[in-house]
Amino acid sequence: MKLMCKRLAAAAGLGLALISGAACAQGAKAALAKVKPADFPTQPIEMTVVYPAGGGADLTARLLAKTMEDITGNRILVNNRTGGAGMVGHAWLATQAPADGYAIGMLVNLVWGDSMLRAQGRWTHTDLEPVGYLNSDPMMWFVTNDGPFKGKTLKDIVQAAKDKPGTIRVATVPGSMWDYSIEQVEKQNDARFLRVPFQSGGAGVVGLIGNNVDVALGFYAEAKPHMEAGKIRGVGVASPERLSHAKDMPTLNEQLGGKDYLWTLLRFVVVPKKTPADRKAYIGAMVKAAMQQKSLRDEYAKLGVYFDPALENAANITEALNAEAERERAFYVKTGRLKP
């Protein structure tokens, strides 16, 4: 615990030398007091989540909000502004949310696709400023243990989609990284799947269990109960390396001989760009202090996420995440979704 607190405090820039869980929390409170504006907050802070309650984004936000409350005593209310597969909440945060520090958002990098492809110039992801990185969650491909691909590898599945194009049913969330991952696999392997649309990755996993599709894409937390029940298994993960909690699951790059089969949700906290600097700094410090807490990181780890050191230690989180956004933009240009 002592090393954990020291390491996380250094990464957070809070300068704490801590020796226990209680001291870790007390040290965080002391450091936060130094950057707390005199007039803020005087009312609850609303944390917007753009996806429905019960999903990975919602769970992440609620765990974060509780930890921030415990450390600061400030009330943090989580509000699900849903609709349009995230577009409603994204647009509200970028164009309507008050820039006073009382409106913050817990977002994932799907906001970049909305900003670049669906906002039609009305707003952009740069209207929102990241103040803290939380965790990363790579996309996985799943099949049932008693279905047509029992005992088969992802490479076998892709070969089937090549041999019998348009016959292998795959769950997707239209206009999102689900679609992009499938398209990438198709184009680079001369294969073609039959795409079946769902509202979310979790719904697609349920569709897989119900035999409505042959393959589903999603995230560990959505599939974990069904994997533990022996109903489904992961056949590939779109991450650079195998995950510590799923070491038997090979990466897409391993199986398909590539380097760029990389699709990961990045979760982070944002504020409207014109939020006062002192309030923005305090919110960022609250997020960092919360992420120091081993209890929060342990809860996140149970959801199957990992913590990217490059983003955790970034001197400027906005620049680091914007660099990731530009890499995604390059994919949209390459696939003809955006003009150069």
User: Hey, where are the domains in the chain?
Assistant: 2-137+264-334, 140-256
Tell me which of 3.90.1150.10, 3.40.190.10, 3.10.20.30, 2.60.120.260 is the CATH number of domain 140-256. Answer: 3.40.190.10
What is the pLDDT at residue 21? 58
Model pLDDT, residue 24? 62
Distance CA 330, CA 323 (A): 11
Most confident option among 5-14, 147-156, 237-246: 147-156
Q: Beta-carbon neighbour count of residue 242 at 10 Å? A: 14
**For the segment 93-112, what is each residue's pLDDT rounded down to a tens digit?**
999 999 999 999 999 999 99
Phi, psi (5° rounding) for residue 120? 55, 40
The pLDDT of residue 3 is 46
Whether 153 and 255 have beta carbons less than 8 Å apart is answered as yes
More confident: 6 or 210: 210
What are 23-68's pLDDT values in tens digits? 666 767 778 988 999 999 999 999 999 988 887 889 999 999 999 9
Distance CA 290, CA 67 (A): 6
Determine which of 62-66, 134-138, 151-155, 222-226 has the lowest per-residue pLDDT on average: 222-226
Whether domain 2-137+264-334 has CATH 3.20.20.70: the reply is no
Same fold, 2-137+264-334 and 140-256: yes
107 forms beta bridges with 268
| Residue 190 one-letter amino acid | D
Which positions ≥6 away from 141 have C-beta within 8 Å?
154, 157, 215, 216, 217, 234, 235, 236, 237, 238, 252
CB 304 within 8 A of CB 228: no
pLDDT at residue 199 in the model = 80
Q: Residue 17: is its pLDDT beyond 70?
A: no
Per-residue model confidence (pLDDT) at position 69: 96
* pTM reported for the whole predicted model: 0.82
- Distance between CA atoms of 165 and 297, rounded to whole angstroms? 43
Mean pLDDT, residues 305-332: 91
Could you report the per-residue pLDDT of 186-202, keeping only the tens digit for each? 999 999 999 999 988 88
Share of residues in the chain with pLDDT > 70 (%): 92
The identity of residue 210, as a single letter, is G
How does residue 9 score in pLDDT terms, banded at 50, 70 and 90? very low
Q: What percent of the chain has pLDDT over 90?
A: 74
Across 316-340, average pLDDT = 91
pLDDT single digits (tens) 245-287: 889 999 999 999 999 899 999 999 999 999 999 999 999 999 9
Q: Examine the pLDDT at 11 and tell me if it is beyond 50.
A: no
E strand spans, 188-263: 194-197, 215-218, 232-237
**HSE (side-chain half, CA atoms, 13 Å) at 125:** 27
pLDDT band at 2 (very low <50, low <70, confident <90, very high): very low
Would you tell me the crossing angle of helices 277-292 and 294-302 to the nearest 10 degrees?
70
pLDDT at 176 over 80: yes
Beta carbons of 299 and 63 less than 8 angstroms apart: yes
Average pLDDT of the chain to the nearest whole number = 90
